[in-house]
Amino acid sequence: MWKCQLYFRIMGLKIKELEDYAWFPAILRKYQMEMIGQTVSYFGFYHTIANRIKADLTTYGVKSITDLCSGSGQPGIYVHRKLQMPEVETLLTDKYPQQIKSHIGVVYSPNSLDINDLNPDAATFYTMYNAFHHLNDNEQKTLIQKVLTTKSQLMIVEIVQPGLLNIFMVTLASTLGVWFLCPMIRPFEWKRLFFTYILPLNVLTVLIDGYISVFKSKSIKDYTLTLETLFPAQTGITISEHRAFPAKIITIKINGNLG
């Protein structure tokens, strides 16, 4: 098993997801982001996460959320609705911003935001859903250090981990899952059906990026060891694992107020 995990780790260091390349077709990036967003919303992966965020917002009196690497925006919208806190506003951001329909209390910034250019604000609560593994080790370290230095807060959520079981689940989600959920995505587009059922590029790219995500992912043990090494005796970092059928979720909470 350790050899398998080592292989995944080495592979992950050498490659990155198709959607992270500037040359990747915008329409396929859009469909892929929407499919992933639809999947996590359909299964309610972030239900318990919303409760944790709500507790933090209440404790620290924060009324502004900025979601990083938002993709389709659906995870951020899902959590915003679950919070049931009308005084809280959520700003969605991404390097490749998408256009979404209007939601009360939610705005998608039309400006591109590269995560490496982020300057955290202590008055803002930051979230990142299933995107942390897209960053390399140095980028992950820099982001966490910024949050700690500025006494900001960041909730990182990861739903992929290394291993054959995750390869199996990604295979199902990226093939049967895509075919099943595609008609449910709104707004409806004939082109999405074409690229899913007739010329299934949407299925292929979702599957490829799903595998790459597993290669680049880390287990809770890996994250714990890495962050304890990079930030020894740091009290502002909390790593935990939660069950969310059909997967396990890893959360990394960065609280600059405790550092």
108 bridge partner residues = 92
My answer on whether 53 and 138 are in the same domain is yes
Residues 71 and 197 reside in one and the same domain: no
Same domain, 142 and 112: yes
User: Which structure tokens are listed for 143?
Assistant: 């982001």
Closest by CA to 221, choosing from 134, 163, 164, is: 163
- Tell me the pLDDT tens digit for each residue of 4-39: 444 545 544 568 899 999 999 999 999 999 998 888
At 9 the pLDDT is 52
Handedness of CA 37, 41, 43, 45 (dihedral sign): positive
Same domain, 248 and 125: yes
User: Which comes out higher in pLDDT, residue 173 or 42?
Assistant: 173
Does 210 share its domain with 233?
no
**Does residue 121 share a domain with residue 89?**
yes
Q: Which of 31, 36, 72 is CA-nearest to residue 192?
A: 31
What's the pLDDT score for residue 188? 87
The distance between the two most distant Cα atoms of the chain, rounded to a whole number of Å, is 55
Q: Are 36 and 71 in contact (CB under 8 A)?
A: yes
SS3 call for 135? coil
The region of weakest confidence among 6-15, 71-80, 163-172, 178-187 is 6-15
For tokens 């949407």, name the residue. 202
Place of tokens 């980028």: 139
Residues 32 and 59 in one domain: no
User: Is the predicted pLDDT of residue 1 greater than 60, yes or no?
Assistant: no
> Are 50 and 168 found together in one domain?
no
Residues 83 and 115 in one domain: yes
Q: Record the tokens describing residue 227, joined without a space.
A: 């962050």
The domain that holds 91 is classified in CATH as 3.40.50.150
Min mean pLDDT across 26-35, 41-50, 78-87, 213-222 is at 41-50
Average pLDDT of the residues in 49-75:
94
Residues 11 and 36 reside in one and the same domain: yes
Inter-CA distances, 243 with 46, 158, 163, 247, 249, Å: 10, 12, 17, 6, 6
Residue with the bigger pLDDT between 258 and 249: it is: 249
54 is written with which tokens?
Answer: 């709500």
| Domains identified in the chain, total number | 2
Q: What is the dihedral of CA 73, 74, 80, 82, to 10 degrees?
A: -170
Q: Which residues pair with 247 in a beta bridge?
A: 244
- Average of per-residue pLDDT values in the chain: 89
Q: Are residues 67 and 185 in the same domain?
A: no
Give pLDDT tens digits for 207-244.
999 999 999 999 999 999 999 998 987 789 999 998 77
Closest CA to 109 of 164, 150, 68: 68
How far apart CA 14 and CA 118 sit, in angstroms, is 24
- The pLDDT of 187-194, averaged and rounded, is 92
pLDDT, one tens digit per residue, over 124-162 is 999 999 999 999 999 999 999 999 999 999 999 999 889
Give tens-digit pLDDT for 90-109.
999 999 999 888 899 999 99
Q: Do both 125 and 249 map to the same domain?
A: yes
List beta partners, residue 39. none
Instruction: Find the domain containing 172 and state its range.
Output: 2-40+162-215
Residue 177's nearest CA partner among 22, 29, 43 is 43
Segments of the chain assigned E as strands: 64-68, 89-94, 106-112, 125-129, 153-158, 237-244, 247-255
Cα 115 from Cα 56, distance rounded (Å): 23
